[in-house]
Structure 1
Amino acid sequence: MNTKLLRPFIESAENLRITNIIIYQNGERIAEHHWDEEIRRNQYSASKSFTATAVGIAISEGMFSLEDKVLKYFEQDAPKNPSENLKNLTVRDLLTMSIGHDKGYLMGGERPFLSELNWVKYVLNQKIVYVPGETFVYNNAGPYLAGVLIQKLAKCDLVEYLMPRLFEPLGIIRPTWETDPQGLTFGAGGLMLTVSDMAKFGQLYLQEGTWNGKQLISKQWVYEATKKQMDTHWKKDVGEGYGYLFWRGRHDSFRADGKYGQYSIVLKDKNAVIAVNAECREQQKILDCIWDKVYDLL
Structure 2
Amino acid sequence: MLTEFKSEIIKNNFNVYGIVVIKDGIKVAEHHFMPEERRQLYSVTKSFTSTAVGLAISEGYFSINDNVLKFFQDEIPKNISPEHLKNLEKVTVERLLTMSIQDYPFVRLTCDNWLKHILSVPVPNIDEKVFQYSNWSSYLAGAIVEKTTKMNLIQYLQLRLFEPLGIENVECEYSPEGHFYGATGMKLTINELSRFGQVYLQEGYYNGKQLLPKEWVASATKKQIETREGGYGYYFWRYKENCYRASGMRGQMCIVIPDKNAVIAVMSDLENDSEEVRQCIWDTIYTKL
Q: TM-score, normalised by structure 1?
A: 0.92
Cα gap change, 1:133 to 1:23, in 2 (>3 Å): farther
Worse-superposed segment, 45-54 or 126-135:
126-135
Matched residues, percent identical? Answer: 45
Runs of 4+ in structure 1 over 4 Å off: none
Q: Deviations over 1:37-61 (max 9, x none)?
A: 1100110000000000000100110
Distance 1:285 1:24 in 2: 21
In the other structure, the counterpart of 1:230 is 225
Corresponding residue for residue 12 of structure 1: 8
Distance 2:105 2:185 in 1: 20
Give the whole-Å Cα distance in 1 for the aligned partners of 2:125 and 2:264. Answer: 36
Contact 1:159 1:174 in 2 (8 A): no
SS, match of residue 265 in structure 1: strand
Q: How far has the Cα of 1:99 moved from its partner?
A: 2.1
Q: Specify the SS of the correspondent of 2:133.
A: coil
Match of 1:72 in 2: 70
- C-alpha displacement of 1:13: 1.3
Contact 2:225 2:233 in 1 (8 A): yes
Which AA in structure 1 matches 2:279? D
Hey, what does 1:90 align to over in structure 2? 92
Alignment of 1:31-46 (within 5 A): 31-46=29-44
Deviation for aligned residue 1:131: 2.2
Whether 2:233 is the aligned partner of 1:243: answer yes
Q: Which ranges of structure 1 fall in alignment gaps of 5 or more residues?
A: none
Alignment of 1:180-199 (within 5 A): 180-199=175-194
Query: Are 1:290 and 2:286 matched, yes or no?
Result: no
**Could you say what secondary structure the match of 1:97 adopts?**
coil
Contact 2:103 2:126 in 1 (8 A): no
Provide the rounded CA distance (Å) in 2 between the counterparts of 1:280 and 1:247.
Answer: 19
Could you tell me how far 1:173 is from its partner in structure 2?
Answer: 1.2
Task: Please give the alpha-carbon distance, in whole angstroms, between the structure 1 residues aligned to 2:187 and 2:56.
Answer: 22
- The corresponding residue for 1:59 is 57
C-alpha deviation, 1:83, in angstroms: 4.2
Contact between 1:93 and 1:133, CA under 8 Å: does it hold in 2?
Answer: no
Letter in 2 for 1:159: I
1:242-268 deviation line (CA, Å, top 9, x unaligned) = 000000001110111010011110000
Match of 1:168 in 2: 163
Q: Would you say the 8 A contact 1:98–1:132 is kept in 2?
A: no
Query: Within 1, Cα distance between the matches of 2:244 and 2:231?
Result: 9
Does 2:267 correspond to 1:277?
yes
Structure 1 Cα separation of the partners of residues 104 and 152 of structure 2: 29
Q: Give the distance between the partners of 1:192 and 1:150, measured in 2 at CA.
A: 20
Q: Shift in Å at residue 133 of structure 1?
A: 6.4
SS of equivalent to 2:73: helix
| 1:70–1:214 Cα change, 3 Å | same
Deviations 1:13-70 (Å, cap 9, x if unpaired)?
A: 1211000100000000000110001100110000000000000100110000100011
Could you tell me how far apart the structure 1 residues matched to 2:126 and 2:116 are? 20
Q: Which moved more, 1:151-160 or 1:246-255?
A: 151-160
Q: 2:137 corresponds to which residue?
A: 142
Distance 1:187 1:102 in 2: 15
Q: What per-residue deviation string (whole Å, max 9, x for no partner) do you get for residues 140-184 of structure 1?
A: 011100101111111121111110010001101121110111221
Change beyond 3 A, Cα 1:132–1:54: farther
* C-alpha deviation, 1:94, in angstroms: 0.6
SS of residue paired to 2:265: strand
Provide the rounded CA distance (Å) in 2 between the counterparts of 1:123 and 1:138.
15
CA distance in 1 between partners of 2:288 and 2:65 (Å) = 42
Give the TM-score normalised by the residue count of structure 2: 0.95
Of residues 245, 250, 254, the one that matches 1:255 is 245
Supply the distance in 1 between the matched residues of 2:56 and 2:137 (Cα, whole angstroms).
16
Counterpart Cα distance in 1 of 2:162 and 2:105 = 33
Structure 1 residue 127: Cα displacement: 2.4
* Structure 2 counterpart SS, 1:266: strand
- After superposition, what is the alpha-carbon deviation per residue over 1:176-206, rounded to whole angstroms, capped at 9, x for unaligned? 1101112211011101111001100000000
